Amino acid sequence: QSALTQPASVSGSPGQSITISCTGTSSDVGGGHNFVSWYQQHPGKAPKLIIYDVNIRPSGVSSRFSGSKSGNTASLTISGLQAEDEADYHCSSYTDSGGTYVFGGGTKVSVL
């Protein structure tokens, strides 16, 4: 159950687009399912689900957030970057190992 690999930090200017990668293996992200999710976490707050099943936004989540997957790597793109997007972002995936789950190490997004 090794953690998924995310860049430690990503930054961008307001209005720009940024992409956060989340790399796993064929036993998790690259497995025969689309059970990859993304969470936004502001300092001192609980994580919030922003993308599930690779590319589906829950009701109320901005359309500026989008997800995709190719092979063993999932990605989260934030378009039209805003100051309020400054937060930590975590990916997660179901794994083929006995019904378990794994998270990434988290990515700190900074808005310059």
Partner 1 sequence: QVQLVESGGGVVQPGRSLRLSCAASGLTLTNYAMHWVRQAPGSGLEWVAVISYDGRIKSYADSVKGRFTISRDNSKNTLFLQMDSLRPDDTAVFHCAGSPDSAWHNFEYWGQGILVTVSS
Site residues, partner 1 (CB under 8 A): 1, 3, 6, 35, 37, 39, 45-49, 52-53, 58, 90, 92-94, 98-106
Q: Tell me whether residue 28 is exposed, middle or buried, using C-beta atoms within 10 angstroms of its C-beta: 0 to 12, 13 to 18, 19 or more.
A: buried
CB of 90 to partner 1, least distance (A): 5
Q: Smallest distance from the beta carbon of 8 to partner 1, in angstroms?
A: 10
- For residues 6 and 66, which CB has a smaller minimum distance to partner 1 in the complex? 6
Phi-psi label, residue 15: left if phi above 0, alpha if psi -120 to 50, beta otherwise: left
When the beta carbons of 16 and 100 are compared against partner 1, the nearer one is 100
- Rounded Cα–Cα distance for residues 70 and 73 (Å): 5
